[in-house]
Amino acid sequence: MRTAFHTLAVAAAVAGAFAAPALAADWKPTRPVEFVVTAGPGGGTDQFARVVQATVQKHKLMPVPIIVTNKGGGAGSEAMVYLQSSQGDANKLVFSTNLAYLMPMITKVGYKIETMAPVAIMAADEFLLWSNAESPYKDAKGFIDAARAKAGAIKMGGAQSKDTDHILTRQIEMATGVQMTYVPFKSGGEVAAQLSGGHVDANLNNPSENVSHWRAGKVQPLCVFTKERLKIAGKVHGDKGFADVPTCKESGIAIDTFNMPRTVWAAGGLTPEQVKYYENVMAQVREKPEFKEWLARGLQTEMFLTGAKLKDYIAADAAKNKAQFAKDDWLVKD
């Protein structure tokens, strides 16, 4: 009898060992989930979060409502501090860019990215070098030659100091040996308007921020920071479209690629099953027509990373940028 009882106990324990992961893998949120945006309403990151929200709700990919809130203070650090204060809370996600893990290197932000759980990269904004259509710079080589000859007189417009545009400006300077004057503004939209009006000589906007000004014949793309030419079909102005824009490397600027990934973060302290749940939701979102239409409308590149590949990408991108920040003396002092 004792032997039979022991056998049953062992069998029950084995069955329980296999059942536990299955139950954990079935985790789902049971109360509303908050999508926190590291920017104000209407911008690219806000649109990113809201298209994910709309797609999830339309296709019933989560069993609870989703609330979108904007916490754009401190260049997005307000949202990350909020997430850090929510350790273990599986009902909050933050929508950001690579600035989520770059900002702590260059300014005191009040959070440690190591306390967060990266969920996914969902897309990437590509960057082009643009000039005013009336300027004498008709290609990247002519622009760089002018910047070299004028030694600091060329004005490069960008969105905020030490932001993505500023980082790329410094990469161009280091790759070509030229010196430019970086002029920060509040947003990519404002930078586009400044270039369109001829108040700066160039900018480094992504396609969606400058396309309307190109369509109006006010600005022109000189090159794109991708390994291959963009595969965006159609003409924008005259007989030219994005597919006609040469890469910056083939134009003489030795930078293979530069883009801005759209990132999603969860709080630290979540179980692996909770993080996996949100990874699976984002994997479903990216396959839906609404998300694909958003990518096409924003002229963004499809890029999807989760798990180990995501962590490897973040580590490599952070290391590369940290080396650049060290050269520029941008690293925050303890």
CA angle 77/82/88 to nearest 5° reads 130
Those residues with Cβ within 8 angstroms of residue 317's Cβ, 6 or more apart along the chain or in another chain: 98, 101, 261
The arrangement of secondary structure in 128-244, i.e. its CATH architecture, is 3-Layer(aba) Sandwich (3.40)
CA distances to 77, 88, 103, 251 from 84, in Å: 10, 9, 15, 43
* Distance separating alpha carbons of residues 219 and 197, to the nearest angstrom: 9
33-124+260-327: CATH superfamily: Bordetella uptake gene, domain 1 (3.40.190.150)
Tokens of 172: 């161009």
CATH code 3.40.190.150 region(s) in the chain? 33-124+260-327
CATH code 3.40.190.10 region(s) in the chain? 128-244
Question: What is the SS3 assignment for 26?
Answer: coil
pTM confidence score: 0.86
pLDDT on residue 16:
45
Name the pairing type of β-strands 117-126 and 301-305.
antiparallel
- Mapping DSSP onto H, E and C, the string for 208-226 reads HHHHHHHHCCCEEEEEECC
Those residues with Cβ within 8 angstroms of residue 314's Cβ, 6 or more apart along the chain or in another chain: 98, 101, 118
For residues 260 and 97, the answer to whether their CB atoms sit within 8 Å is yes
Across the chain, which has 334 residues, the per-10-residue mean pLDDT values are 41 43 69 95 90 98 97 91 97 97 95 97 97 95 96 93 94 97 91 96 93 96 96 94 96 95 98 98 98 92 96 97 96 87
pLDDT on residue 7:
43
pLDDT on residue 2:
39
CA distances to 27, 146, 206, 303 from 141, in Å: 55, 9, 20, 30
pLDDT on residue 25:
55
* Distance separating alpha carbons of residues 38 and 79, to the nearest angstrom: 5
